[in-house]
C-alpha cells in the first residue's frame, strides 16, 4: 500500500511495450502509465462512480505483483467541501 499526495494517469503506454501498465513513485506522488484502452475504461468508471483496478506488470508473465485500485468511498460529497 502506497500513500501519495497526487496521482498522474498517463495514457500513452503502447501495447507493444510488453506491459499491461507501469506504476512508479514520482516525488511524493504516483505515476501510472496505462494504454489508451485502459484510459478509456478508467474515464468511464470515473464518470459512473465505479471502482476500477489497473493491473501492472508484463503481459507475458503470470506473476503480477502490483495493482492500482481506484475505490469510491462513502460520503464522497463531503470529501472536498470548501
Per-residue confidence band for 47, with pLDDT thresholds at 50, 70 and 90 = very high
Structural domains in the chain, CATH included, are: 6-70 (3.30.1360.220)
Average pLDDT taken over every residue of the chain:
87
Q: pTM to 2 decimals?
A: 0.78
Specify the long-range contacts of residues 45-52, CB closer than 8 Å, at least 24 apart. 45/70, 46/70, 49/76
Between 35 and 79, the more confident residue is 35
Least confident of 6-10, 26-30, 63-67: 63-67
Amino acid at each position: 500500500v502506497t500513500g501519495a499526495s497526487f496521482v498522474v494517469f498517463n495514457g500513452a503506454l503502447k501495447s507493444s511495450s510488453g506491459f499491461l501498465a507501469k506504476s512508479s513513485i514520482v516525488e511524493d506522488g504516483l505515476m501510472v502509465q496505462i494504454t489508451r484502452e485502459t484510459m478509456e475504461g478508467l474515464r468511464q468508471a470515473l464518470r459512473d462512480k465505479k471502482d476500477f483496478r489497473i493491473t501492472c506488470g508484463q503481459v507475458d508473465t503470470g506473476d503480477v505483483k502490483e495493482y492500482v485500485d481506484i475505490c469510491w468511498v462513502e460520503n464522497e460529497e463531503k470529501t472536498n467541501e470548501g
